Amino acid sequence: MERVQRVQAAQGERQYEEAWRVINEMTGRKRTKEGQVEGHSPEERVVTWFNHFRRLLGTTAEGDEEEIPSFLQNLNIDDGPFTTSEFARAKTTLRGQKCWAGRHTPEVLKNCGLDNIILQFCNLALLSNKQPDMWSLSNIIPVPKAGDLSKPDNYRGISLTCIAARFTTG
């Protein structure tokens, strides 16, 4: 009973953490190996992560984009606006219970009843050749592999992207 009261007394994010602490105590589960990336302050650790993933992923090219010549002609591929049936087919590929960068699950887009608005938004991005900045951003989450967890090389990154952007990439 005292453990339940501890969880109820906690507020916000602390309540979530306290609930897991109680579950781990009750089941005898030990905490996983933890580490903290090198740095004397949170700001230094952010810089460490930034430099690590920039080194892995590279930087964006600067300068004008050059036109890529077409080498496959007359393939009968529709490159016009997305159709309602294409949008419906794209929605079926969304897997449930996954969160995206905005912390909403695909079920929101699948079941919100805003298909026409989302379709118009995607077509606007396609036809104007301009996408919202958010569609180009990824939140990189470091996932520990093994070894010394104070070293960024012992992590792999997974990226969370905007689900709406996936409709325009098929």
CA distances from residue 153 to 139, 140, 145 in whole angstroms, order as listed: 18, 14, 9
Mean pLDDT throughout 73-91? Answer: 84
163, burial (CB in 10 Å: exposed 0-12, middle 13-18, buried 19+): buried
Pairwise pLDDT comparison (81 vs 146), residue with the higher score:
81
At residue 76, does pLDDT exceed 50? yes
5 pLDDT more than 60: yes
14 within 8 A of 21, measured Cβ to Cβ: no
- Label residues 141-156 b or e (16+ Cβ within 10 Å = b): ebeeeeeebeebeebe
- Check residue 101 and give its pLDDT: 46
What pLDDT does residue 64 have? 67
**pLDDT tens column, 31-63:** 555 567 877 888 898 899 889 988 888 777 676
- Residue 23 or 124, more confident: 124
User: Where does the pLDDT of residue 73 fall: very low under 50, low under 70, confident under 90, or very high at 90 and above?
Assistant: confident
User: C-alpha 118: how far from its chain's center?
Assistant: 19
Alpha-helix runs per DSSP H in 60-144: 84-92, 106-111, 115-128
- To which residue do tokens 């010549």 refer? 69
pTM given for the model: 0.50
